[in-house]
């Protein structure tokens, strides 16, 4: 460890200006305040009155009763605001990480790569001194706006963004993507009213969008890291994220990605701009607060987890795009068109009665849609129903789910075995129907009637 510390000392622990990471802190804190406000609106309709899908082995994490659940979201908003302005920074960073982490773990159906990235950034702010510039804490304590921090403070943020982009590009290495799906369908839905719709929907344009997305993800990290290509990288980044937002309206990831671009500029760039406006600040002061050996150990552990976790799906049988096993925490993004439908039956072996379960009594449409294409959630919900049936006094209840799905325009097929008792399936047992990769792709129902007919061909074959 001593040798590693000496070798990495100039690179990891050399002092840099803290203004770049501080500017990102201000931006990120504001983004999290907005996130807390959005989540607050869902307390009554979502977190308190629907069935949630906890993460496996974390079932003990459940919504607090009122008014404590409101306290969690208020804490999240207030701590994010304090983080942004750099007031009581350490406490604010801790409370934001705990409150947002708690909300993140309440329900799997709300998972997005964006939320996962935000949680990681919350952890980063907890272990760095991002308030070492442009913060009320620093102004009160030392009467200055700027100071310096070890280089690793900025490097961990840069490395994380590089990993996000690179793995998003690697995830697109599939025959479906390079054959233009679901790019072709996305463009068809988005450009039909545009003046150049015919050109944009051509096979050449589809190829440009498909291959261009892969090229962007794999190269943008290198472009931003290289000083000579940084401005080009930022221009490409902003253009691509605008297209991403146009494709997926409402997504906050493009805003976070553009905001994080400041981390790739010279650490003192924001300081130079601010001093040009308000005048020079007092001389910078170096700030260190963690043992160097501890820092190296944490960085090695964190980077190793971020590199290896997205690769775990290679150890799981089946196509990850179909089974969704190994899909989360892997930076796979939104690059598949997957649609599904299901109906759930509960069978009482003693009475012989088989009833249809109305999922609207348990979950929202968004949750049902999320579950319809993810077998592990269907199994989890079946177990919940099985336990509920036993509470009603039914011995050995059978819960079966007829779930059909389509991946990138393939014909609909069963997602899970319809005759399997999902409520009794144990970990390791096969219950997912393998994807029929021999079927053609790119055939999407264009109307509700076509969709219904496609689903019924599987559920009720003639």
Residue 161: predicted pLDDT: 97
Residue 2: predicted pLDDT: 52
**Number of other CB atoms surrounding residue 14 within 10 Å:** 12
Count Cβ neighbours within 10 Å for each residue of 159-191 and write b for 16 or more, e otherwise.
bbbbbbbbbbbbbbeeebbeebbbbbbbbbebb
At 207 the three-state DSSP class reads helix
Closest CA to 368 of 349, 340, 394, 395: 340
Residue 289: predicted pLDDT: 61
Calpha distance 205→195 (Å, rounded): 15
The beta strands (E) that lie in 228-349 are given as 338-348
Residue 184 CA: distances (Å) to CA of 3, 188, 395, 443: 53, 6, 50, 11
First to last CA, the chain: 69
Tokens 């208020």, residue located? 74
Q: Are 425 and 431 in contact (CB under 8 A)?
A: yes
Calpha distance 136→82 (Å, rounded): 9
- Mean pLDDT, consecutive 10-residue stretches, the chain (462 aa), reads 53 86 96 95 86 91 92 97 96 97 95 96 95 90 83 95 96 91 80 66 85 95 95 95 84 93 90 71 57 86 95 92 93 88 90 88 92 94 91 89 93 93 82 89 84 84 70
In sequence order, which residues have a C-beta less than 8 Å from that of residue 262 and are 6 or more positions away? 20, 23, 24, 27, 269, 270
Closest CA to 86 of 32, 27, 36, 25: 25
pTM: 0.92
Count Cβ neighbours within 10 Å for each residue of 335-372 and write b for 16 or more, e otherwise.
bbbbbbbbbbebbbeeeeeeeebebeebbbeebbebbb
Calpha distance 147→19 (Å, rounded): 8
The DSSP call for residue 319 is -
Residue 290: predicted pLDDT: 67
448-453, long-range: CB < 8 A, 24+ apart: 451/339
Residue 350 CA: distances (Å) to CA of 362, 394, 396, 403, 448: 25, 8, 9, 25, 39
């Amino acid at each position: 460890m001593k040798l590693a510390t000496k070798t990495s000392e100039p690179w990891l622990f050399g002092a840099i200006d803290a203004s770049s990471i501080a500017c990102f802190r201000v931006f990120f804190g504001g983004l999290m305040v907005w996130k807390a406000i959005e989540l607050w609106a869902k307390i009554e309709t979502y977190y308190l009155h629907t069935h949630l899908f906890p993460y496996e082995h974390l079932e003990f994490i459940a919504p607090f009763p009122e008014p404590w659940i409101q306290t969690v979201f208020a804490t999240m908003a207030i701590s994010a605001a304090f983080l942004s302005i750099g007031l009581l920074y350490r406490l604010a960073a801790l409370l934001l990480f705990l409150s947002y982490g708690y909300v993140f773990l309440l329900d799997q159906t709300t998972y997005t790569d964006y939320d996962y990235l935000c949680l990681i950034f919350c952890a980063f702010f907890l272990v760095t001194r991002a308030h070492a510039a442009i913060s009320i804490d620093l102004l009160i304590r030392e009467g200055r706006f700027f100071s310096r921090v070890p280089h690793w403070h900025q490097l961990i943020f840069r490395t994380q963004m590089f990993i996000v982009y690179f793995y998003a590009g690697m995830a697109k290495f599939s025959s479906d993507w390079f054959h233009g799906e679901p790019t072709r369908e996305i463009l068809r839905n988005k450009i039909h009213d545009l003046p150049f719709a015919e050109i944009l929907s051509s096979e050449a344009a589809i190829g440009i969008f498909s291959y261009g997305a892969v090229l962007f993800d794999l190269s943008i990290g290198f472009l931003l890291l290289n000083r000579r290509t940084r401005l080009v990288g930022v221009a490409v980044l902003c253009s691509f994220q605008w297209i991403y937002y146009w494709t997926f309206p409402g997504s906050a990831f493009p805003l976070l990605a553009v905001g994080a671009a400041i981390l790739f500029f010279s650490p003192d760039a924001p300081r130079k701009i601010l001093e040009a406006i308000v005048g020079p600040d007092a001389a910078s002061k170096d700030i260190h607060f963690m043992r160097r050996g501890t820092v190296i150990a944490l960085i090695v552990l964190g980077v190793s987890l971020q590199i290896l976790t997205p690769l775990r799906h290679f150890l799981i049988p089946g196509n990850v795009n179909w089974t969704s096993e190994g899909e989360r925490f892997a930076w796979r993004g939104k690059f598949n068109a997957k649609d599904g439908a299901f109906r759930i039956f509960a069978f009482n072996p003693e009475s012989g009665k088989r009833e249809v379960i109305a999922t609207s009594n348990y979950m929202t449409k968004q949750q049902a849609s999320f579950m319809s294409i993810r077998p592990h959630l269907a199994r989890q919900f079946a177990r919940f129903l099985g336990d509920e049936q036993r509470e009603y006094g039914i011995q050995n209840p059978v819960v079966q789910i007829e779930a059909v799905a389509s991946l990138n325009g393939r014909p609909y097929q069963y997602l899970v075995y319809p005759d399997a008792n999902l409520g009794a399936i144990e970990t390791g047992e096969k219950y997912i129907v393998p994807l029929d990769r021999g079927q053609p792709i790119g055939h999407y129902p264009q109307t509700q009637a076509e969709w219904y007919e496609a689903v019924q061909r599987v559920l009720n074959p003639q």
